[in-house]
Structure 1
Amino acid sequence: MDFTLTPEQQLLSDGLNKFLDARYDLQVSRDAAKVGEGWQPKIWKAFVEDLGVVGACLPEEIGGFGGGAEELMVVTEALGHALVVEPFVDSVVLGAGLLHSTGNAVALEAAGRIAAGEALSALAALEDGSGGVLSRIETSADRDGEGWKLNGSKAVVTTAPIADYLIVSARTSGEPHDPAGVSLFLIDLADGAPEGLELQRLRTIDDRQAADITFTDVRLPGDALIAGDGAIDLLEKAWDTATAAVVSEAVGLMRKVFTDTVEYAKQREQFGVPIGSFQVLQHRMVDMHLRLEQSVAAQYFAILSLDAEPAERAAAVSAAKATISRAARFIGQNSVQLHGGMGMTEELAIGHYFKRLTAIEYEFGTADAHLARFATATAQIDA
């Protein structure tokens, strides 16, 4: 396979990396995440208007530039390398991408607003006790005249506190584990949450905005239903695409962490010599490099399998996520250890990167969960 970027993809990569190097300050972004709005609207505006990053991976039908999986890889790896806190995966991949896939008029309008930088979105899909399985849904949507009534709860919905749209998976028929009964609803939060919708805000370990959401007799109009039969297939594909995007983000993070650790080992002296000259530490860094290269291979595998049949896609994405989860822990923990106590301080970038790598280890499913999914998917392929 040829993994060389096209001239257009290389321009996208170079432009985004130069912008992030020049204008994306780590301390400013951390302050925005911890005590500010949770993101930087000016940066997001530049992503949309100056760089075309938000639209790079979206269809032209909703105002994007028609890019695909390779553009997604280029963008998310660069965002990971700079530890960007803005909700690209939540709002663009799980938001506009999923909305577009429904083909619903209301959803397409919302997707167009996201592509234009006018709105953000969040996906409320997982519930307590679901084990990361998208079809294990107890949140229900029942007919209420010409509209719908929503009851249930969703756990740790990232970006929800700053979102203009909330995409909610709910059961319109069937038993709690029945994939056929899952539907998707779109809630407009621009004018505030509807009565009965409660957000309990929280901040994740990597300083991202999130919320636990409760729905108590939330009344929605009839056109809030954007996908009924077959919604689970759309949801799973969007989820796999987002998982591959996070895998790519993790590669960018690990590249940065590994490079900084090697440079630190060359400068930090002990017993009058750089600690990088100690053979045991050289072996440790070689192991980190091997994990990074394995992750890059897994990244390519996942990205290039996004348009494959569902079982093949699931196997590739789960193999990549399991690989990345283990590599994120190994590289993150070893980089902190090689930096010593300073690695856990707020002053060094390494501590912030370590928090994000720790979150990615569990985000979109743990290594064990994806190994089980990989086994199921490969069995379906072989059958």
Structure 2
Amino acid sequence: MDFTLTPEQQLLSDGLGKFLDARYDLQVSRDAAKVGEGWQPKIWKAFVEDLGVVGACLPEDIGGFGGGPEELMVVTEALGHALVVEPFVDSVVLGAGLLHATGNPVALAAAGRIAEGEALSALAALEDGSGGVLSRIETSADRDGDEWVLNGTKAVVTTAPLADYLIVSARTVGEPHDPAGVSLFLIDLADGGPKGLELHRLRTIDDRQAADITFTDVRLPADALIADENAIEILEKAWDTATAAVVSEAVGLMRKVFTDTVEYSKQREQFGVPIGSFQVLQHRMVDMHLELEQSVAAQYFAILSLEGSPAERAAAISAAKATVSRAARFIGQNAVQLHGGMGMTEELAIGHYFKRLTAIEYEFGTADAHLARFATATAHIDA
């Protein structure tokens, strides 16, 4: 199998890499995440207008450039390598990608705004007690004349405080654990959103903005329904695509962490010699390298399986996420240990990368959850 990038993909990779090296300052981005707006609008504008990154993986009919899974891999790995805080996965992959998949005119218009850099979106899908299963939904949507009435809660919705649009999964028919009956609604958050919608803002361990959301008799117009009670299929595919994107982001993060750790071991001296000359530490870094290479293989497997059958896609994505979750912990923790106490300081990049790797370990499902999903998916393939 040939993993060589096409000339166009290589150009995208080189252009984005050079831009991030020259203009993406780590300290400025961390300040934006910790005490600022949570992102950098000027950088996002450059992603849209100068680099075409936002549209690179989106269909042409909403203003994108028609890129596929390989372009997604190129972009997200580069964003991970630079520890980019801007919500590419949340707003572009999950947001615009899911909106486009519905085929709904209102959703397509919103997706077009995201592709043009005029709006951001967030997906409110998971709930407390759902165990990461998208179909375990208790949030309800009931028809009342020409309107829909939403009631329920959603947990840790990343990017929600920054979003212009909120995509909400709610049950319109069926029982709480029934895959059938899950519908999607699009909420315009202009002027704070509709009455009864409350965002309880919080920050994640890696300094991203998020919110727990409560819906109390939230009334929405009829056209807010963008996908009917069979929406679980497109929702799961968009979720898998976003999971593959985060896997690729993690590879970029781990490449940076591993490279910086090796360089540090060549410079830091103990007993008059570089610590990299100690055989026990060399063995530790070899183990880190092996975890990284396994993650790269899992990344390719996931990306190339996105267009497969639902069972094949689920198996590949879950195998990749379980692999990367293990590697993220191993590489992150060992990088910090090899740097000593300074590994967790605000001044050193390693500590910030470690926080993001820790978040990715649990984001879009834990290793245990994905191992269980992998077992289920492979059983269906074998059958």
- TM-score using structure 2 length: 1.00
- Native 8 Å contact 2:80 2:250 kept in 1: yes
- Native 8 Å contact 2:139 2:152 kept in 1: yes
- Native 8 Å contact 2:197 2:216 kept in 1: yes
Please state how far the C-alpha of 1:191 moved relative to its aligned partner. Answer: 2.6
Distance 2:360 2:338 in 1: 21
Deviations 1:266-295 (A, max 9, x none): 000000000000000000000000000000
Deviations 1:75-128 (A, max 9, x none): 000000000000000000000000000000000000000000000000000000
| Aligned-partner SS, 1:4 | coil
Please state how far the C-alpha of 1:230 moved relative to its aligned partner. Answer: 2.2
Q: How does 1:10-89 map to 2 (within 5 A)?
A: 10-89=10-89
Please state how far the C-alpha of 1:152 moved relative to its aligned partner. Answer: 0.1
Deviations 1:308-346 (A, max 9, x none): 000000000000000000000000000000000000100
- Equivalence for 2:245: 245
Deviations 1:150-204 (A, max 9, x none): 0000000000001000000000000001111100000001232210000000000
Distance 2:335 2:34 in 1: 24
Q: How does 1:227-376 map to 2 (within 5 A)?
A: 227-376=227-376
- Native 8 Å contact 2:171 2:229 kept in 1: no
| Aligned-partner SS, 2:170 | strand
- Equivalence for 1:140: 140
- Equivalence for 2:213: 213
Distance 1:285 1:38 in 2: 34
Distance 1:274 1:230 in 2: 60
Distance 1:49 1:178 in 2: 43
| Aligned-partner SS, 1:206 | coil
Count of residue correspondences: 383
- Native 8 Å contact 2:172 2:229 kept in 1: no
Please state how far the C-alpha of 1:208 moved relative to its aligned partner. Answer: 0.2
Distance 1:382 1:230 in 2: 26
| Aligned-partner SS, 1:50 | helix
Unaligned runs of 5+ in 2: none
| Aligned-partner SS, 1:180 | coil
- TM-score using structure 1 length: 1.00
Over 3 Å off, 4+ runs: none
2:41 is aligned with 1:4: no
| Aligned-partner SS, 2:213 | strand
Distance 1:126 1:256 in 2: 31
Unaligned runs of 5+ in 1: none
Task: Please provide the CA RMSD for this pair.
Answer: 0.4
Distance 1:157 1:180 in 2: 23
Deviations 1:117-146 (A, max 9, x none): 000000000000000000000000000111
Distance 2:178 2:112 in 1: 32
Please state how far the C-alpha of 1:229 moved relative to its aligned partner. Answer: 3.3
Deviations 1:206-231 (A, max 9, x none): 00000000000000000000000320
Please state how far the C-alpha of 1:8 moved relative to its aligned partner. Answer: 0.2
Identity, % of aligned positions: 92
- Native 8 Å contact 2:58 2:67 kept in 1: yes
Please state how far the C-alpha of 1:147 moved relative to its aligned partner. Answer: 1.1
Deviations 1:38-61 (A, max 9, x none): 000000000000000000000000
Deviations 1:339-377 (A, max 9, x none): 000001001000000000000000000000000000000
- Native 8 Å contact 2:150 2:217 kept in 1: yes
Distance 2:319 2:179 in 1: 23
Distance 1:190 1:244 in 2: 31
